[in-house]
């Protein structure tokens, strides 16, 4: 018997669609499974015209019937939408885009998508966001760059077939988001979009004594206060509806603008203030004597159609309600149903303090006209000025052209000055950040209580230019004194390794084979660290600091493991340690310096240890140099290895694909720690196999970082080695075991393995 | 038993030797040819000719002239070319993927195919796909809720093996796809032969216990095998080969032949080998194999296998 029934209500939702709207832009965030239960046409039927952004990051499954429903959805949506952007597409969605030609619909453009990457060492799958504009070169070339794994530093590789994976997005070309869409995504929804899209721009319209300025993009320290304030007069309207993020420097600039503009203006009207702007920059002090807030936006949520949208609140119209810190009742823009305000308490209590603005009908009409007027996008994105009614006031076209040229000259001059000012400001900020991270308030040091920073030992004061035969290691500020000391020791030994590298580089082959392997990686780590230290992002600094510290520790550990007798105990440990305790915020942090004494003969001995070669089977090898750990953080290399220095053309190692620069870590499972063990093990194993024949596997780290196994066939046998792509299968009669992976219904095969 | 005869055309001697050994051990009589011109002389009336897609034209020519011949074809490249041949020629129903031109197809797959030829009445059990000691489960699926439950079980099983999340999701999709076919597309009215639910995928379905589909999932740690069986036996060769060919062709969804091939495509993309075993009106058994030792990139780039046993 079989029966069918209509789909029942009340089942758990497989697909969740969250809607966020702001003006004509709507973001739809899809989470869950797209299968036959998804009603594409039904969803599209509830949507109105405008620009749509579809976030497809949380799609976990798509079935074949789900694809049909989806195609119905995007086709119908494209019929009414002005534009449809796909963002943060999950790899699963990218697969569908590649397979089904109309998956994006006629108007769909993919702005960003995730690509799968994998680190074999950590056994971790990760995904990286690609943006169609920012990463256009990688997408077009279909060659995603490998990047070091955040955990272990080994390269993460792109875990897909690039030709297939990038075929759709490469074919569509670079997609740039319009400024308003980028602003909506970055500021309202906190998405990552290209930096250029958030750049500040100001569009200006003048009519009579009224000036309308639409401010779009992020409000930060680059805000051109002076340039903007200059010449503002009459009635000035700032439309802030497309304003992006506001940082403290931007807020300060805005306050200055208001202060500078107030004397020359009759009234400064702020309309369309974003919630963040309204909450932070519309206090009576901020507004000054002439500033008024005409309108601001607040988020409202509709339970009926699951839409959260931004509603513009006219302060004059709703003042009687707002003054009691109560949000006015608003109808859902989509379904007309009731909504509830989801703004924070901070905003609501603040808007209660806003004065009722007095904006006359003519001004309102001027604002409406200016807002409705399509924005002219000039090639130079800084300013766009349109002068309404200029001709009616008798200006000739020639005069206007002259004015435009003069304005352009001023703008260029101003821009150059502005750039220079920005550069010096950035340098000052970088300096301040670096200083902040280098020290706090001095509390005490290892010299003794009561000592000041001035009591630092001479070798600490001269840490940047240490005396000959010495190396100084220095930690960053650390809450744990022991960790700081470890860091300083690691940095000191890493400095010893640098000294040795300088000496060893006199050997050209060593320099070409060994130093070239890690030099760039080391430099990059230091550059990233310095950059992060000067930057404002504390998280990035911590990450860069950790990366550098961990690598330095590995360099130090490899030095200890491979240097042998060339590194005397006196040089392996610091001869002096100095620490300082600083107060940072409400806590304490430590900074440690270590002094290593490395006499010239020690450096010479160490350089010899790493530049001398030993050979077997036509291959000469160096002992693994510790500096390699700057490039590869690898447990396989922690005990050392042998770097192939030269290979004869007849060497069996060359014949199986090994090249100069490869690192041999094991032969037939026996670990190779240096050049001597390489020769010893290779000779022994070769002699052993020569008698019976067979394969001698070598574990080798190739230039690309991949750890591979190469096999030297010692005696040719008739045995076919012409591969087998699959594993062996007994071919029937198996019985299933039990245990291991838990099974929900029990292991049914144990009762009848051949069923 | 040993009367079945295979002729292997393979230029690489090492691969040729291995093929000969594998097929001979299964019980087939095997003849090998280094060059195409040697093949005709080696053929018997009912031989199986085994060759790479590279020699497809020769194989098709021989099939046209000898009605008793069948062909096994392998490739190290995407399957599209062989699919075209399989769509046109019903005697090409076994397509083997291989890692490269210097390797044989998977040995167990060759043995499986040989066993099907030698003992057609005794198809190898599900266990034949896996190494001894595997673990798995079986679940009867009779309704829409059962489908959801089974899909979750599949995902949980894969997750508990420690596989990456995307493998679990992929198998969830695969199980969903196969079960949709088994409980929506396959069921027919036993008297009239009319499809019962194929027209409405959104409907809740409830099948009687004897009409329920059976899902099996098992793994030996290196391979995961999934199998869905329904008792209707309605899947036809054209659904498999032509459907997949349509899906792989891409482009706008072409539903003019009963489906866009998307379901078949999803199944194909989630496995390294698929086996379709159909007994007309009695049973459709679809088995998929996934190799856990491959990373996603290797998996995508690997040539896949497709085998169909059943009514033409």
Q: Which residue of A has its CA nearest to B207?
A: A2
Residue with tokens 């942090």: A589
pLDDT value of residue A195: 55
> Taking CB atoms and an 8 Å cutoff, what residues of chain B touch A4?
196-197, 200, 203-206
Alpha-carbon span A354 to A328, nearest angstrom: 14
Helices (H) and strands (E) in chain A, counts: 24, 30
Closest CA to A386 of A204, A200, A201, A202: A204
Residue A483 CA from chain centroid, whole number: 28
How many angstroms separate the CA of residue B65 from the nearest CA in chain A?
A: 33
Final residue in a domain of this structure, among B118, B150, B174: B118
The closest CB to that of A722, out of B103, B157, B302, belongs to: B103
A650 and A530 assigned to the same domain: no
B207 and B241 assigned to the same domain: yes
| Residue span of the structural domain in which B281 resides | 126-309
Alpha-carbon span A348 to A342, nearest angstrom: 10
User: Integer distance in angstroms from the first to the last C-alpha of chain B?
Assistant: 24
Final residue in a domain of this structure, among A148, A180, A212: A180
B104 and B78 assigned to the same domain: yes
Q: Does A446 score more than 90 pLDDT?
A: no
Whether A185 is covered by a domain: the verdict is no
Q: How many CB atoms lie within 10 A of CB A145?
A: 12
Contact assessment for residue A600 and residue A469, using Cβ atoms and an 8 Å cutoff: yes
Whether A361 is covered by a domain: the verdict is yes
How many angstroms separate the CA of residue A301 from the nearest CA in chain B?
A: 30
A661 and A684 assigned to the same domain: yes
> Taking CB atoms and an 8 Å cutoff, what residues of chain B touch A157?
297
B103 and B165 assigned to the same domain: no
B63 and B135 assigned to the same domain: no
Final residue in a domain of this structure, among B86, B118, B150: B118
Reported as a single tens digit per residue, the pLDDT across A85-136 is 999 999 999 999 988 878 999 999 999 999 999 888 888 888 899 998 888 8
Q: Which residue of B has its CA nearest to A102?
A: B252
A212 and A352 assigned to the same domain: yes
Q: Is A421 on the interface with B (CB under 8 A)?
A: no
If you average pLDDT over every residue of chain A, what do you get? 80
Q: How confident is the model at residue A172 (pLDDT cuts 50, 70, 90)?
A: confident
Mean pLDDT of the region A1-18: 59
Alpha-carbon span A51 to A197, nearest angstrom: 17
CATH number of the domain enclosing A377: 3.30.750.24
Alpha-carbon span A434 to A96, nearest angstrom: 47
Counted domains in chain B: 2
Q: What angle do CA A553, A556, A561 make, to 5 degrees?
A: 125
| Residue span of the structural domain in which A101 resides | 15-180
pLDDT value of residue A652: 83
B130 and B271 assigned to the same domain: yes
pLDDT value of residue A89: 95
Q: Give A 22-61 residues with CB within 8 A of chain B.
A: 35-37, 39, 60-61
Alpha-carbon span B266 to B283, nearest angstrom: 22
A171 and A220 assigned to the same domain: no
Do residue B250 and residue A101 have CB atoms under 8 angstroms apart? yes
Q: Does A743 score more than 70 pLDDT?
A: no
pLDDT value of residue B189: 87
Burial letters B40-65, b for 16+ CB under 10 A, else e: eebbbeebbbbbbbbbbebbbebbee
Alpha-carbon span B269 to B290, nearest angstrom: 10
B191 and B100 assigned to the same domain: no
Contact assessment for residue A146 and residue A158, using Cβ atoms and an 8 Å cutoff: yes
Residue with tokens 């490998």: A146
CATH number of the domain enclosing B42: 3.40.50.2300
Closest CA to A160 of A207, A126, A123: A126
Range with the poorest average pLDDT among A7-21, A542-556, A738-752, B119-133: A738-752
Count of positions (residues) in chain A: 755
Whether A742 is covered by a domain: the verdict is no
Q: Is A389 on the interface with B (CB under 8 A)?
A: no
A273 and A170 assigned to the same domain: no
B12 and B143 assigned to the same domain: no
A212 and A344 assigned to the same domain: yes
> Taking CB atoms and an 8 Å cutoff, what residues of chain B touch A161?
297, 300-301
Reported as a single tens digit per residue, the pLDDT across A246-260 is 877 888 889 989 998
> Taking CB atoms and an 8 Å cutoff, what residues of chain B touch A6?
203-204
Alpha-carbon span A620 to A634, nearest angstrom: 23
A504 and A574 assigned to the same domain: yes
How many angstroms separate the CA of residue B12 from the nearest CA in chain A?
A: 9
A170 and A255 assigned to the same domain: no
Whether A3 is covered by a domain: the verdict is no
> Taking CB atoms and an 8 Å cutoff, what residues of chain B touch A142?
none
Reported as a single tens digit per residue, the pLDDT across A27-81 is 999 999 998 889 999 999 888 878 999 999 999 889 888 998 999 999 999 998 9
B143 and B288 assigned to the same domain: yes
Alpha-carbon span A438 to A580, nearest angstrom: 12
Residues with Cβ within 8 Å of residue B160, at least 6 apart in sequence: A741, A742
CATH number of the domain enclosing A637: 2.30.42.10
Phi-psi region of A331 (alpha: psi -120 to 50; beta: other; left: phi over 0): beta
Q: Does A221 score more than 60 pLDDT?
A: yes
Counted domains in chain A: 4
Phi/psi at A644 (5° precision) = -70, 120
Alpha-carbon span A187 to A215, nearest angstrom: 14
Reported as a single tens digit per residue, the pLDDT across A687-719 is 887 777 777 888 888 887 777 777 777 755 443
Range with the poorest average pLDDT among A189-198, A287-296, B298-307: A189-198
Final residue in a domain of this structure, among B118, B143, B162: B118
> Taking CB atoms and an 8 Å cutoff, what residues of chain A touch B127?
732-736, 749, 753-754
Please name every residue paired with A314 in a beta bridge, in sequence order, or none if there are none: A295
Q: Does A427 score more than 80 pLDDT?
A: no
Quote the tokens at residue A420: 């220079």
A172 and A213 assigned to the same domain: no
The closest CB to that of A732, out of B107, B124, B302, belongs to: B124
Contact assessment for residue B73 and residue B53, using Cβ atoms and an 8 Å cutoff: yes
Q: Is A539 on the interface with B (CB under 8 A)?
A: no
Q: What angle do CA B160, A90, B155 make, to 5 degrees?
A: 20
Contact assessment for residue B83 and residue B53, using Cβ atoms and an 8 Å cutoff: no
The closest CB to that of B107, out of A116, A161, A726, belongs to: A726
Final residue in a domain of this structure, among A125, A153, A180: A180
Higher pLDDT: B227 or A307? It is B227
Contact assessment for residue A710 and residue B107, using Cβ atoms and an 8 Å cutoff: no
B174 and B104 assigned to the same domain: no
Quote the tokens at residue A580: 């300082």
Range with the poorest average pLDDT among A279-283, A351-355, A537-541: A537-541
Q: Which residue of A has its CA nearest to B167?
A: A125
B194 and B59 assigned to the same domain: no
A218 and A305 assigned to the same domain: yes
B84 and B217 assigned to the same domain: no
The closest CB to that of B169, out of A8, A35, A60, belongs to: A60
Quote the tokens at residue A365: 């009409």
> Taking CB atoms and an 8 Å cutoff, what residues of chain A touch B24?
none
> Taking CB atoms and an 8 Å cutoff, what residues of chain B touch A741?
135, 157, 160-161, 219
**Residue ranges of E strands in A333-414:** 340-341, 383-387
How many angstroms separate the CA of residue B110 from the nearest CA in chain A?
A: 10
Q: Does A721 score more than 60 pLDDT?
A: no
Please name every residue paired with A619 in a beta bridge, in sequence order, or none if there are none: A616, A647
**Residue ranges of E strands in A627-743:** 642-647, 663-667, 670-671, 695-701, 707-713
CATH number of the domain enclosing B154: 3.30.565.10
Please name every residue paired with A313 in a beta bridge, in sequence order, or none if there are none: A296
How many angstroms separate the CA of residue B116 from the nearest CA in chain A?
A: 12
Q: How confident is the model at residue B239 (pLDDT cuts 50, 70, 90)?
A: confident
Mean pLDDT of the region A600-612: 92
Mutate to test the interface with B, among A731, A738, A754 (most CBs of B within 10 A): A731
Reported as a single tens digit per residue, the pLDDT across A641-668 is 999 999 888 888 887 778 889 999 988 8
Do residue A4 and residue B197 have CB atoms under 8 angstroms apart? yes
Final residue in a domain of this structure, among A581, A607, A633: A607
Q: Does A681 score more than 80 pLDDT?
A: yes
Residue A136 CA from chain centroid, whole number: 16
Which strands make up the sheet holding B29-33, listed edge to edge?
Answer: B29-33, B5-9, B48-52, B70-75, B92-97, B305-309, B273-279, B283-291, B223-230, B213-219, B135-141
> Taking CB atoms and an 8 Å cutoff, what residues of chain A touch B202?
7, 36-37, 39
Q: Is A749 on the interface with B (CB under 8 A)?
A: yes
* Class of residue A275 by CB neighbours under 10 A (exposed 0-12, middle 13-18, buried 19+): buried
Q: Is A90 on the interface with B (CB under 8 A)?
A: no
Q: Which residue of B has its CA nearest to A163?
A: B301
Q: Is A143 on the interface with B (CB under 8 A)?
A: no
Alpha-carbon span B192 to B181, nearest angstrom: 20
A366 and A446 assigned to the same domain: no
Do residue A7 and residue B202 have CB atoms under 8 angstroms apart? yes
Whether A695 is covered by a domain: the verdict is yes
The closest CB to that of A4, out of B17, B205, B250, belongs to: B205
Taking CA atoms, A451 is separated from A40, A172, A444, A454, A588, in Å, by: 74, 67, 6, 8, 17
Alpha-carbon span B267 to A447, nearest angstrom: 72
A22 and A112 assigned to the same domain: yes
> Taking CB atoms and an 8 Å cutoff, what residues of chain A touch B196?
2, 4
Could you tell me the sign of the dihedral formed by the alpha carbons of A105, A109, A111, A115, in that order?
positive
B73 and B27 assigned to the same domain: yes
């Amino acid at each position: 018997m079989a029966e069918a029934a209509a789909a029942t209500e009340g089942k758990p939702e497989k697909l969740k669609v969250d809607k966020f709207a702001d003006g004509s832009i709507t973001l739809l965030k899809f989470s869950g499974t797209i299968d036959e239960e998804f009603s594409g046409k039904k969803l599209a039927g509830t949507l109105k015209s405008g620009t749509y952004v579809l976030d497809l990051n949380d799609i976990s499954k798509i079935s074949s019937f789900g694809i049909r429903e989806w195609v119905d959805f995007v086709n119908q949506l494209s019929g009414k939408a002005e534009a449809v952007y796909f963002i943060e597409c999950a790899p699963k969605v990218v697969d569908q885009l590649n397979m089904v030609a109309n998956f994006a619909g006629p108007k769909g453009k993919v702005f960003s998508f995730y690509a799968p990457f994998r680190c074999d060492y950590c056994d971790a799958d990760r995904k990286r966001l690609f943006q169609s504009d920012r990463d256009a070169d990688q997408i077009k070339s279909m060659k995603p760059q490998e990047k070091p794994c955040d955990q272990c530093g080994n390269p993460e590789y792109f875990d897909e077939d690039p030709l297939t994976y990038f075929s759709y997005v490469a074919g569509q070309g670079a997609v740039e988001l319009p400024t308003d869409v980028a602003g909506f995504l970055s500021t309202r929804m906190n998405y990552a979009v290209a930096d250029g899209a958030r750049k500040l721009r100001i569009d200006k319209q003048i009519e009579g004594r009224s000036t309308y300025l639409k401010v779009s993009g992020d409000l930060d320290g680059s805000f051109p206060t002076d340039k903007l304030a200059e010449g503002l007069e009459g009635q000035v309207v700032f439309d802030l509806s497309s304003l992006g993020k506001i940082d403290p420097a931007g807020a300060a600039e805005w306050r200055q603008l208001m202060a500078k503009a107030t004397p020359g203006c009759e009234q400064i009207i702020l309309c369309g203030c974003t919630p963040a702007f309204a909450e932070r920059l519309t206090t009576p002090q901020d507004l000054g004597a002439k500033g008024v807030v005409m309108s601001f936006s607040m988020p409202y949520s509709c339970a009926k159609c699951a839409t959260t949208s931004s509603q513009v609140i006219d302060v004059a119209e709703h003042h009687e309600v707002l003054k009691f810190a109560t949000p006015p009742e608003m109808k859902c823009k989509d379904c007309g149903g009731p909504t509830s305000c989801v703004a924070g308490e901070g905003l609501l209590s603040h808007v209660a303090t806003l004065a009722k603005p007095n904006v006359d009908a003519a001004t309102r009409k001027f604002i409406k006209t200016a807002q409705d007027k399509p924005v002219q996008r000039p090639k130079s994105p800084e300013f766009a000025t349109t002068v309404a009614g200029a001709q009616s006031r008798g200006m000739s076209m020639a005069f206007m052209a002259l004015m435009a040229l003069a304005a352009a000259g001023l703008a260029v001059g101003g821009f150059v000055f502005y750039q220079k000012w920005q550069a010096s400001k950035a340098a000052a900020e970088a300096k301040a950040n670096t200083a902040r991270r280098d020290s706090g308030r001095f509390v005490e040091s290892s010299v003794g209580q009561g000592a000041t920073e001035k009591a630092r030992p001479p070798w600490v004061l001269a840490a940047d230019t240490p005396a000959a035969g010495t190396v100084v290691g220095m930690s960053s500020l650390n809450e744990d004194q022991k960790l700081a000391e470890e860091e300083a020791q690691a940095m000191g030994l890493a400095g010893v390794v640098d000294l040795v590298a300088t000496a060893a580089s006199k050997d050209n082959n060593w320099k070409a084979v060994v130093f070239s392997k890690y030099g760039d990686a080391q430099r990059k780590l230091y550059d990233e660290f310095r950059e992060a230290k000067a930057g404002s992002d504390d998280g990035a600094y911590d990450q860069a600091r950790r990366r550098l510290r961990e690598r330095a520790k590995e360099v130090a550990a490899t030095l200890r493991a491979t240097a042998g007798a060339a590194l005397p105990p006196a040089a392996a440990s610091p001869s002096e340690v100095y620490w300082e305790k600083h107060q940072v915020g409400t806590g304490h942090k430590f900074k440690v310096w270590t002094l290593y004494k490395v006499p010239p003969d020690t450096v010479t001995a160490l350089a010899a240890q790493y530049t001398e070669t030993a050979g077997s089977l036509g291959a000469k090898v160096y002992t693994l140099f510790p500096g390699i750990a700057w490039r590869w953080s690898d447990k396989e290399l922690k005990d050392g290895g042998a770097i192939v220095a030269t290979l004869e053309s007849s060497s069996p190692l060359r014949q199986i694909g090994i090249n100069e620069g490869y690192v041999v870590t094991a032969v037939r499972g026996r670990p190779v720690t240096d050049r001597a063990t390489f020769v010893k093990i290779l000779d022994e194993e070769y002699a052993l196999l020569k008698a019976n024949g067979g394969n001698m596997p070598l574990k080798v780290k190739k230039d690309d970082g991949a750890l591979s196994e190469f096999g030297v066939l010692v005696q040719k046998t008739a045995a076919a080695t012409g591969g087998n792509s699959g594993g062996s299968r007994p071919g029937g009669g198996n019985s299933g075991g039990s245990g291991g992976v838990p099974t929900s219904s029990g292991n049914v095969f144990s009762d009848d393995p051949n069923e | 038993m040993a009367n079945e005869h295979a002729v292997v055309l393979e230029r690489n001697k090492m691969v040729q030797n291995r093929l000969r050994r594998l097929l001979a051990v299964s019980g087939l009589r095997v003849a090998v040819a280094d060059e195409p011109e040697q093949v005709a002389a080696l053929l018997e009336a009912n031989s199986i000719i085994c060759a790479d897609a590279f020699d497809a034209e020769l194989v098709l020519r021989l099939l046209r002239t000898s009605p008793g011949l069948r062909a096994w074809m392998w490739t190290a490249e995407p399957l599209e070319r062989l699919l075209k041949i399989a769509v046109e020629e019903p005697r090409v129903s076994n397509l083997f993927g291989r890692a490269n031109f210097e390797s044989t197809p998977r040995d167990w797959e060759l043995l499986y195919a040989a066993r099907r030829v030698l003992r057609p009445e005794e198809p190898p059990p599900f266990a034949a796909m896996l190494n001894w000691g595997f673990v798995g489960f079986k679940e009867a699926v009779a309704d829409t809720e059962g489908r959801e439950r089974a899909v979750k079980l599949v995902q949980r099983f894969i997750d508990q093996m420690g596989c990456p999340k995307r493998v679990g999701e992929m198998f969830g999709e695969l199980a969903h796809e196969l079960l949709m076919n088994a409980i929506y597309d396959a069921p027919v009215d036993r008297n009239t032969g009319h499809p019962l639910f194929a027209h409405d995928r959104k409907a809740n379905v409830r099948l009687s216990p004897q009409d329920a589909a059976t899902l099996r999932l098992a793994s030996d740690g290196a391979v995961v095998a999934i199998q869905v069986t329904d008792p209707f036996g309605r899947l036809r060769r054209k659904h498999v080969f032509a459907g997949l060919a349509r899906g792989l062709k891409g482009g706008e969804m072409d539903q003019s032949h009963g489906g866009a091939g998307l379901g078949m495509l999803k199944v194909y993309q989630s496995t390294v080998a698929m086996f379709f075993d159909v007994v007309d009106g009695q049973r459709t058994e679809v088995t998929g194999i996934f190799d856990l030792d491959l990373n996603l990139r290797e998996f995508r780039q690997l040539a896949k296998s497709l085998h169909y046993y059943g009514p033409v």
